[in-house]
Amino acid sequence: MTSQATLTIDALAHKGEGRADTADGPVHVPYTLPGETVRVELEAGNASGGRGRLLEVVSPSPLRVAPVCRHFGTCGGCVLQHMDMPALLDWKRTLVVSALAARGLGDLEPLVEPTVDAGGDGRRRAVLAATRAGQKILLGFHERASHRLVDLAECPVLVPEIVRLLPLLKKLAGLAMPRKGEVGLSVLATADGADLAMTSQAKLAPRAIAELIETAMSGGISRLAFNGEVLVETRAPALDMGGVSLVPPPGGFVQATRAGEDALVARVLQGVGDARKVADFFAGAGTFALRLARKAKVHAVESDRASLAALDRARRSAGGALREIVCERRDLMRNPLTAGDLDDFGEGMEAVVFDPPRAGAEAQAREIARSKVKRVVAVSCNPATLARDLRHLVDGGYRVLSVLPVDQFRFSPHIEAVAVLARD
């Protein structure tokens, strides 16, 4: 059963949907803004309240702007192209503030700085999907709350180098397409060409693999991996990590935008100050470790074997430009370094940097809180788990010195943040 209603949008919910507070509970309406009067088609409610499909904006907000992409409203990649950018950046700051307040850290609001717009030239890494629709190959992102794919013709949040590759990526996907299902494509734009990692349930014959390689090479792909195996590498797809060349593993994690990486690195380096011994937890392939090692001895801890191997290769290629980096493979979620471990590194670890997945670093944060480490820099892509981890650190005697929101996820409800803490 559905019905229509005219509602006033009171706020933006944390997923970027407008929220109308009604006598029957909140109604969430995508693509609306606070203060707007809208006509919607109501859907049945659920545990988190009702939902409405936008039919008409009766009275638009002065913050409403024209979307910049033809796919907006269908593609699930962006939900906030209709919002004025300064207002959007300010709203993302409130996400961090609200998460802190929910953990009893509301007094930290003055320390939360304005959001850094780190969209830059666009995302240099994209994770796309492809599927077959009749004789046609569709390539793009999934529709909002759907398994259907949007066949991308453009994408304003990706770097132009990836957008130009869309026709080639579609052709490559067609060569690796299973009879049913999707092909996954993780593409990274580098100065040495595009790095492409594909996944598929298709079992390719040698002739098909040869055609896949030839097509990729003729299209300028620098490295092609298929289901975890590197098929061809004409040029190493390297990234510049503060003067050190890093070749990440195929499909490996890197920061979404170069501008975002620069903003995060600058705050991390500022946060550790003149510390001579630094632990880098959830180190990945070395985004922070390789920069920190310019001035400090670094103990880099990461659970992913391929990422740690890439970090070690970059370390060795740097020669004498870096100080010591000790790499340790360890699952910090299940087996965090203890407070005793941290205090036993020589005369004790002087600073800790951690940048965990969205689930956060609760177990490790508890141990850091019990240690004697003087400086901590917490990087997170999830304000809720960041606030939880900061709560443990504050309860352990740390003071929060600053919190910097960094937006490298333009037009989405996601936000990165860096918190710097110190112990007296």
Looking only at the bridges linking them, the beta strands covering 193-199 and 221-226 are parallel
Instruction: Name the residue among 332, 266, 271, 321 with its Cα closest to residue 299.
Output: 332
Q: Read out DSSP for 109-151?
A: GGGBPPPEE--TT-BSEEEEEEEEETTEEEEE-BBTTSSPBP-
Place of tokens 């809180």: 369
Q: Three-state SS for 347?
A: coil
Phi, psi of 402, rounded to the nearest 5 degrees? -165, 155
Q: Is 381 a catalytic residue?
A: yes
Pick the catalytic residue: 69, 75, 327, 381? 381
185 burial (CB, 10 Å; 0-12 / 13-18 / 19+) is buried
Residue pair 361/282 in contact (Cβ under 8 Å)? The answer is yes
Angle, vertex CA 128, rays to CA 125 and CA 130, nearest 5: 155
Q: How far is CA 49 from its chain centroid?
A: 28
Can you point out the beta strands (E) in 192-266?
193-199, 221-226, 229-233, 239-241, 244-246
- One-letter identity of residue 308: L
Place of tokens 């699930």: 76
240 contacts: CB under 8 Å, gap ≥ 6: 191, 246
Angle, vertex CA 347, rays to CA 343 and CA 353, nearest 5: 55
Q: Would you please indicate which residues are annotated as catalytic (active-site) residues?
A: 381
